[in-house]
Amino acid sequence: MEKILEIKDLKKYYKDNKAVDGLNFDLYEGEILGLLGPNGAGKSTTINILSTILKAEGGTIKYFGKSLDSNRKYVKSQLGIVPQDLALYEDIAAYKNVEFFASLYGIKGEELKCNVLEALRFVGLEDKKDSKPKTFSGGMKRRLNIACAIAHKPKILILDEPTVGIDPQSRNHILESIKKLRKLGTTIIYTTHYMEEVEVISDRIVIMDKGRKIADGTILELLENYKNTRVYKIFIDNKSGQYNGKFDFLFKIEGIQKVSKEDNALCITTIKDIDNLDKIILKLIENKIKVSHMTSEEGNLEMVFLKLTGRNLRD
Ligand code: ADP
Ligand code: MG
């Protein structure tokens, strides 16, 4: 696969705040790259630099093998950007919104009409083309925002958290549309803080934290060290706070690797193939610990993030 974007040592500081702090990653033609990181990781700042809205303080960006600075106009014509904050005209029809954004790229006449209708069809809003966005649900506005970004048929589409605060149906629609666009040949950067989304949508994942890349790979590569791991989260009834003791007794059970305590739950990391849940529960009962409920998870990106940063992705 051909490298179509190369980012090296990218930096953007807001006074002492290192929003982007020496970021490196590449984008390959035809892939969906999931850019995952908690709020404040620097994802939007990165996207805004990549889309030429913001200027970096340092580092280099090469699109299609040439530096962005020497090739700005061409790059802009090949990019579609779906910003984190909706950019729509609430009081003009959906069709006119898409038409406006597509016409900024110099598309005219019959081609413009075809592209606008195709983009609206693509996001499932063709029958709403004459309605105004102010009458739309949050999910429909997000979809219209995407239509505005794809009507000029960009080579690279960059989406910044396109599913925040919308209903599950619109979310699925958006994820499916993005996969379809990739099949049609668009290369995609998909930014989110939802681990579940990058897991289902990405060919490759870059995990960002505090302005830097902390991991990069396919989902299988990232989970390589966790494929034998299972985490039981056991919620204990601890209203009176009597279980503040140690949980060393659990380590006598075969397979257990780590035990940590959250407010009202124990997180027990264990080897996946060892059947030890009955023994865990029995030990807890023996120690007069009342279990209220529990969950069980196999290796996931949350665990990768926790291992690399010592924090939860969702914090
Ligand atoms: P993300 O998109 O991953 O949530 P952002 O790129 O929005 O992260 O922000 C990264 C950091 O930069 C945060 O600490 C944020 O508060 C800060 N930041 C972002 N934009 C500005 C700005 N215009 N002025 C000052 N600080 C900013
Ligand atoms: Mg953001």
Q: What percent of the chain lies above the pLDDT cut of 70?
A: 97
**204 and 234 housed in the same domain:** no
Is residue 308 domain-resident? no
Q: For residue 94, what pLDDT is reported?
A: 98
Is the per-residue pLDDT at 312 higher than 80? yes
**143 and 255 housed in the same domain:** no
Mean pLDDT of 263-268: 86
Q: What is the mean pLDDT of the chain?
A: 92
Is the per-residue pLDDT at 241 higher than 80? no
Three-state secondary structure along the chain?
Answer: CCEEEEEEEEEEEECCEEEEEEEEEEEECCCEEEEECCCCCCHHHHHHHHCCCCCCCEEEEEECCEEHHHCHHHHHHHEEEECCCCCCCCCCCHHHHHHHHHHCCCCCHHHHHHHHHHHHHHCCCHHHCCCCHHHCCHHHHHHHHHHHHHCCCCCEEEEECCCCCCCHHHHHHHHHHHHHHHHCCCEEEEEECCHHHHHHHCCEEEEEECCEEEEEECHHHHCHHHCCEEEEEEEECCCCCCCCCCCHHHHHCCCEEEEEECCCEEEEEEECCCCCHHHHHHHHHHCCCCEEEEEEEECCHHHHHHHHHCCCCCC
pLDDT band at 299 (very low <50, low <70, confident <90, very high): confident
Ligand located closest to 84 CA: 2
Is residue 187 domain-resident? yes
- Ligand 1: nearest atom to the Cα of 211: 10
- Ligand 1: nearest atom to the Cα of 20: 10
Mean pLDDT of 66-85: 94
Is the per-residue pLDDT at 99 higher than 80? yes
Q: For residue 315, what pLDDT is reported?
A: 59
Is residue 312 domain-resident? no
Give the residue, by CA position, lying nearest to ligand 1 atom 10.
42
Q: What is the pLDDT of residues 143-181, one digit of tens each?
A: 999 999 999 999 999 999 999 989 898 999 999 999 999
Domain count for the chain, please give it: 2
Mean pLDDT of 7-27: 97
Is the per-residue pLDDT at 202 higher than 80? yes
The preferred substitution site among 10, 11, 16, 17 for testing ligand 1, maximizing ligand atoms within 8 Å of CB, is: 17
Is residue 97 domain-resident? yes
**176 and 232 housed in the same domain:** no
Q: Which of 223, 256, 275 is the last residue of a domain?
A: 223
Q: For residue 258, what pLDDT is reported?
A: 87
**232 and 218 housed in the same domain:** no
Give the residue, by CA position, lying nearest to ligand 1 atom 25.
14
Is the per-residue pLDDT at 244 higher than 80? no
Is residue 304 domain-resident? no
**201 and 255 housed in the same domain:** no
Ligand located closest to 19 CA: 1
Is the per-residue pLDDT at 242 higher than 90? no
**23 and 93 housed in the same domain:** yes
Q: For residue 208, what pLDDT is reported?
A: 97
**90 and 206 housed in the same domain:** yes
Q: For residue 236, what pLDDT is reported?
A: 87
Q: For residue 105, what pLDDT is reported?
A: 93
Give the residue, by CA position, lying nearest to ligand 1 atom 13.
40
- Ligand 1: nearest atom to the Cα of 47: 6
Is residue 274 domain-resident? yes
Q: For residue 79, what pLDDT is reported?
A: 97
**172 and 210 housed in the same domain:** yes
Mean pLDDT of 185-190: 97
Q: For residue 192, what pLDDT is reported?
A: 95
Residue-number span of the structural domain to which 291 is assigned: 228-298
Q: What percent of the chain lies above the pLDDT cut of 90?
A: 77
Ligand located closest to 83 CA: 2
pLDDT band at 288 (very low <50, low <70, confident <90, very high): confident
**150 and 248 housed in the same domain:** no
Is residue 119 domain-resident? yes
Mean pLDDT of 22-48: 97
Q: Which of 162, 189, 223 is the last residue of a domain?
A: 223
**141 and 243 housed in the same domain:** no
Mean pLDDT of 25-41: 96
**132 and 259 housed in the same domain:** no
**190 and 286 housed in the same domain:** no
82 Cα: distance to centroid of ligand 2 (angstroms): 12
Q: What is the CATH number of the domain that holds 80?
A: 3.40.50.300
Q: For residue 243, what pLDDT is reported?
A: 63
Ligand 1, CB within 6 Å, residue ranges: 14, 17, 19, 37, 39-45
Q: What is the CATH number of the domain that holds 260?
A: 3.30.2130.10
- Ligand 1: nearest atom to the Cα of 208: 3
